[in-house]
Amino acid sequence: MKRAIYPGSFDPITLGHEDLIKRAAATVDELIVAVLVNPAKNPLFSVDERVKMIKEVTGKIPNVRVESFDGLLADFARKENAQFIVRGLRMVTDFESEMQMAQTNHVLNENIDTIFFVTSLKYSYLSSTTVRETAAFGGDYSKFVSPEVYAWVERRMRDLKS
């Protein structure tokens, strides 16, 4: 059983993330999308909200499971019996830190290999930060996220203003 973990902040999940999830899920037997509990960041959505949102948009892909985790990714991978970590590469700027993380994770857990997917051209500009900033300044971010996620962000923006 080939099991991979796709870790990230997903604050919120974008069409770029979704594209990568579809491609990775088609490559392995089970893909675990894992939302990182990162107390250092000040997120727009709580971890539970992000898990719910990701479940909504990936519900139709049978071999995708959504979880959250804190602590070391290498330990979470061991616990889940996963052999692979999936990450996306958008630009060269992603490369250096991703390479370092992949090598660190392999040292911490030698059963783990990182698989990189090159981002689809049409989503290579896209990040969760782009979505949050465009939404905060009243721009049209409907091309960046699924309709379900759009509704979550709209609600959050309204709540923040009231």
Which residue sits closest to ligand ADP, CB atoms considered?
Answer: 16
Closest CB 92 distance from ligand ADP, rounded Å: 12
User: In the complex with ligand ADP, which residue's Cβ is closer, 38 or 63?
Assistant: 38
What is the binding site for ligand ADP (CB under 6 A)? 8-10, 14, 16-17, 20, 87-88, 90, 94, 119, 123, 126-128
The smaller minimum CB distance to ligand ADP, of residues 1 and 121, is found at 121
Residue 125 CB, nearest approach to ligand ADP (Å): 7
Question: Quick check: 92 and 59 in contact, CB under 8 A?
Answer: no
Residue carrying the six token digits 């290579």? 124
Minimum separation from the CB atom of position 162 to ligand ADP (A): 27
Location of structure tokens 């090598």: 103
Q: Which is nearer to ligand ADP, 17 or 77 (CB)?
A: 17
User: What is the three-state SS of 104-152?
Assistant: HHHHHCCCCEEEEEECCHHHCCCCHHHHHHHHHCCCCCCCCCCHHHHHH
SS3 71: coil
Question: Residue 113: beta bridge partners?
Answer: 84
Q: Which residues are catalytic?
A: 17, 41, 90, 128
